[in-house]
Structure 1
Amino acid sequence: MGGRNKPLIVVIVGPTAVGKSEIGITLAQQFDGEIISGDSMQIYRGLDIGTAKVSPKERRIVPHHLIDLLNPSESYSAAAFKEDAKRLILELTSRGKLPFIVGGTGFYIRGLTRDLDFHETPQNPTYRKQLEAEAKKYGPRYLHDQLKKYDPKTAAKIHPNNVKKMIRTLEIFKETNHHRDFEAQQEKESPYEVVMIGLTMVREKLYQRINERVDQMVAKGLIAEAKMLYDNYPATAQAAQAIGYKEFFPYFRGEISKEKAIDTVKRNSRRYAKRQLTWFRNKENVEWFDISQEKQKKIQEMIRRIEGKIASSSN
């Protein structure tokens, strides 16, 4: 599928808890498609509840890819996602399937659809391990202070708790004496015909959904899942940085109450949803659908949009 020898892909984005997985499955069924997860944390085995991973039953309805491939101790990146997704898109289109990329990790989506070049970034594994040890010993704020010394402007863009990004940025500084801004780099022409569908809803309703979903996750065993991560993997592991898990670590250390940890998960999830909306509205060419009301009507509009793209790509 796709004109001018470009594969056609459908990308479904939006904030956490808006319902991307459900609508992705509905649309993929309609078009005999398969789903590639665009969520940076669903690739980890054992982290099912906190990542809102689709169930085995849902995966039998529509095949899903890039789920449950890595242990929580392993790292994954936008570069790895781009290569894995590229391979899967070629495979799916060769079988006559329409690829659906479903997820809210903005940089993963941008790297794939804008064909960002990740391969020239320098590596320094020894220095990286040193930084990981320092983060574990002194805490994330220590790394953030180090970053400020190199470039206060860059440090201001990175959250002090984002250990992985701070380490990667410091590693690039170490090797090149400057920060390579992937977000600002010139994109090539996309290798795909892209239909990018954005899901949104009234903020009050979205925030209510987020709060309710966190409560449901706790009822299903989220805290036990977080404890497994806390007991078995270092705090610097990429998986341990995920919202829904790291907020319970102070509770496990006896520093805050369980109720406070749950409230913090809700707050951080709402803030993340806001950041996701800002990212996709500012950086991507998205056709937005407000599904606060008349969701089925909006799904029919999405179907017509995809049908129109298929028809135009075939000409």
Structure 2
Amino acid sequence: MPDAGIGSRLRELDGTSRLLVVAVVGPTGSGKSELAVTLAQELGGEIINADAMQFYRGMDIGTAKMPVEERKGVPHHLFDILDVTEEASVSAFQHQARADMENVRSRGNVPILVGGSGLYIRAALDVLEFPGTDAAIRAGLEQELERAGLGPLLAQLQEVDPASAERLTDARRVVRALEVYRLTGRRFSSYMPQREYHQPAVQIGLAVDREELKERLAARVHRMVESGLEAEVRTLEGHGLRTGRTAARALGYAQFLQVIDGTMSVEEAVAATIAATRKFARRQLTWFRADPRIHWLPWKDKDLARKALETIASTVEG
């Protein structure tokens, strides 16, 4: 258990800690949600979700969404806010998350941002501008993509924004980069954020043992399947899951849609989900390790919560 005195000390700093946003980050399966709940109990906090797939109603088992009974009475925000047919938007999230953070502070509480979606974390925390969208431009680009494939679009992007062309390989993001250039005349890469907080914040990262995490993720996928992941996917298919540009690509859901189609066995879907989840965790670690502002703590340290509170306290007091 954490030292209750640290939480009390923070609360007594004439409200200074209320100026902070606390973020708990790290790879999937590292225990972020559990730590966040403990910190919220100690600090008088409320949790704001920054896991894009946990925005979706009904996507519970496959996203490892914390059940209400395990939230220990701590208010949770930005869960279950989208239907599976809706597309998640990082710019919309930025607006919602910052509004929720202000509302949490207005109640005298501490906003605690939790998630492994790196761009969403940065959208909430950092000075970051999002360009607009244009449905007609995007539709034209998507028609080009369907007609000629990704190669010609990448060649166009190479001409106007070499940095983005080198970095992006996903067709959807290449289309977005060209849309932004045609709409604004600015390179998509020019919108990449600097590491500058929008408001005072402290990030706690969970440092994992990679081999142990691999085994934990495999076991978690098996538990999801045993808990009814296939049935959940079948239910969501009836609510339009296949038409969702974001939700249909979620780990586990994409694979079990193939089970429903008969193009993949359950065993193959499990193996594919484990492989994809491990790959995703590696990408998350690469993303978060690049941010020097994150305070890394061992994920299985028996004093994890106390050390996290000490890190927050030293940031506030310093």
Alpha-carbon distance change, 168 to 195 in structure 1, aligned in 2, over 3 angstroms: same
Give CA deviations for 1:87-142 in whole Å, capped at 9, x if unaligned.
Answer: 11111112110110010110111122212011xx242213434666888x78xxx7
Aligned residue number for residue 67 of structure 1: 79
Query: Within the alignment, does 1:239 sit opposite 2:247 as a pair?
Result: yes
AA aligned to 1:41 is M
Query: Within the alignment, does 1:25 sit opposite 2:37 as a pair?
Result: yes
Structure 1 counterpart of 2:192, from 184, 190, 210: 184
Task: Say whether the 8 Å CA contact 1:230–1:240 is kept in structure 2.
Answer: no
Distance 2:261 2:143 in 1: 19
Query: Within the alignment, does 1:270 sit opposite 2:259 as a pair?
Result: no
Q: How does 1:123-272 map to 2 (within 5 A)?
A: 123-129=133-139, 144-151=150-157, 154-155=164-165, 157-160=167-170, 163=172, 165-176=173-184, 179-181=187-189, 184-186=192-194, 189-231=196-238, 232-235=240-243, 237-272=245-280
Distance 2:283 2:90 in 1: 18
TM-score, normalised via structure 2 length:
0.84
Deviation of the 1:84 alpha carbon: 1.0
Give CA deviations for 1:137-184 in whole Å, capped at 9, x if unaligned.
Answer: 78xxx7533432323564553354x64x34423422443566412663
Give CA deviations for 1:7-48 in whole Å, capped at 9, x if unaligned.
Answer: 211100000001100111111111110100011111111111
Structure 2 counterpart of 1:84, from 96, 112, 135: 96
Aligned-residue CA RMSD in angstroms? Answer: 2.6
Structure 2 counterpart of 1:291, from 280, 299, 313: 299
Query: Within the alignment, does 1:280 sit opposite 2:292 as a pair?
Result: no
Distance 1:132 1:13 in 2: 34
Distance 1:27 1:194 in 2: 15
Distance 1:237 1:191 in 2: 29
Task: Say whether the 8 Å CA contact 1:235–1:241 is kept in structure 2.
Answer: no
Aligned residue-pair number: 299
Give CA deviations for 1:268-299 in whole Å, capped at 9, x if unaligned.
Answer: 1101111111101113511101124xx22222
AA aligned to 1:296 is K
SS at match of 1:283: coil
Distance 1:129 1:225 in 2: 32
Distance 1:225 1:173 in 2: 40
Distance 1:134 1:26 in 2: 50
AA aligned to 2:102 is L
Deviation of the 1:86 alpha carbon: 1.0
Mark the runs of 5 or more structure 1 residues left unpaired by the alignment: none
Deviation of the 1:259 alpha carbon: 1.0
Distance 2:262 2:152 in 1: 29
% identity of equivalent residues? 36
Task: Say whether the 8 Å CA contact 1:85–1:112 is kept in structure 2.
Answer: yes
Distance 1:144 1:64 in 2: 40
Deviation of the 1:199 alpha carbon: 0.4
Aligned residue number for residue 307 of structure 1: 313
Task: Say whether the 8 Å CA contact 1:143–1:167 is kept in structure 2.
Answer: no
TM-score, normalised via structure 1 length:
0.85
Mark the runs of 5 or more structure 2 residues left unpaired by the alignment: 1-14
